[in-house]
Amino acid sequence: MSMAPAPRALFTSPLAAASTGSRLDASVMLSKGKESLLIPDNAQVISSSVVDRCPHRSEIQSVALAEGEDDCLILGTVDSYGHLIVSRLDIVADDIDRTSYSVPPRDCGVGEGSWAGVCFSPMQQSMVAVARQLCKTIDIYDQDIHVRSLRTLWYPSSFSFVQYSPHVNESSSLLATAEGSQLSIWDLRMNNNGGCVHRITGSVGDIIYSTCSSPSGLIASGGTDRAVTIYDPRRWSALSRWVGCSKFEITGLAFSSVDESFIYVQGVDYEITCGHWKQSERAFSFRGDSNWLGFSKCANNDVIAGWCESGSIFIADARQL
């Protein structure tokens, strides 16, 4: 989950990839309002766990969660200076902490802090990417070993590994990055042009805030233009453009795991919308009690959740709709 500056203490919750240390009573009835708006019901937190091995010294900027082996989850957190901490969590035992490792920033944290992002490779669990906005860099690590650095032209605001591409083997070496009004594609195997293999330029003045990839390799982007654009990596052309899918700037995107012709769109306000991007039609939406700080979707199913400025967490299971 990408989010605004957050406290340094970190609680595990079933938001980013699968259920972790928190358990909720989800036996609640679903009700709907006007224009397919879902009305949330209160749920009780049965138990929760605290991740003790995240000693960040500055604000946590981004959190990523991936499924590991032996009923373990891999949790990655990065703070405003690019300090990365990766922890293995046992979702079965009472003590969820197993092992962890820490990777300091390449410049030792000198300078001003800014937004930073983290994401895991979907095909290679040991590979993790860390983006730093003010430094205009994306660092690639294999566990705690630095592999290479990518230098962006503009300030990166979102990035994601491309899950599949006919031009790439199973190592998942393509990385899609939103930087300014451009969507840049990087191949970690290439050295020419710093690894950048393609750039897609949007309208002048429109900033891309979010990008994501589908299991088949489609790439989606959205930002200040309040539209979602879907790109085909085989031709690097736009397949579809869903205009006006959000009332405000788009800050979060996620393809549906059930049907990738549907996509979840988070605006800068308090609403999350799911719609058919090919037909530019809204399927349903739900709202928080205040503006979203971030949202995320489970890796293999359509359970989505968002965290609001008020501190409330809203969870929707699209499989029950």
Note the pLDDT of residue 228. 95
* Model confidence pLDDT, tens digit, residues 261-277: 999 999 999 899 999 99
> 45 and 30 in contact (C-beta within 8 Å)?
no
Q: Is the pTM of this model over 0.75?
A: yes
The full DSSP string for 281-316 is EEEEEEE-SS-EEEEEE-SSS-EEEEEETTS-EEEE
39-53, 56-70, 78-92: which has the minimum mean pLDDT?
Answer: 39-53
CB neighbours of 46 closer than 8 A, spacing ≥ 6?
Answer: 23, 24, 25
Percent of the chain with pLDDT over 90: 45
Each domain of the chain, given as residue ranges in start order, spans 56-113+136-145, 152-320
68 confidence band (pLDDT: 50, 70, 90): confident
Q: Which fold has domain 152-320?
A: Methylamine Dehydrogenase; Chain H (2.130.10)
Sheet containing 145-151, strands listed edge to edge, beginning at the edge strand earlier in sequence: 116-120, 127-132, 137-142, 145-151
| The token pair that represents 213 in the structure block | 């990839």
CA 47 from centre of chain: 25
pLDDT at 171 over 60: no
